[in-house]
């Protein structure tokens, strides 16, 4: 009757194989997941832009407006 839903609930259990492969990976833990290089690179870029913007804003506040 609901055989079209069978691919959603009748899947093989591959947790143990995936866990063994993940734990045996020699890379650092932050680089083991797929697309982690992309995520960490994006985070580093946004963090750098934010810190440069904050530093520029603080420098502008400390420097003040030029005297007329």
The 10s digit of each residue's pLDDT in 12-44 is 899 999 999 999 999 999 899 889 999 999 999
Asked whether the predicted pLDDT for residue 1 surpasses 70, the reply is no
Domain range summary for the chain, segments of one domain joined by +: 11-56
Rounded to two decimals, the pTM is: 0.66
Secondary element (H or E) of residue 21: helix 15-23
Contact assessment for residue 9 and residue 16, using Cβ atoms and an 8 Å cutoff: no
Q: Which of 35, 13, 34 is nearest to 22 (CA)?
A: 34
């Amino acid at each position: 009757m609901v055989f079209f839903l069978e691919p959603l609930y009748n899947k093989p259990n591959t947790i143990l194989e995936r866990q063994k492969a993940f734990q045996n990976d020699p890379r650092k833990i932050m680089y083991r997941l797929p697309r982690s290089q992309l995520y960490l690179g994006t985070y580093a870029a946004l963090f750098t832009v934010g810190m440069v913007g904050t530093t520029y804003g603080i420098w502008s506040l400390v420097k003040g407006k030029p005297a007329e």
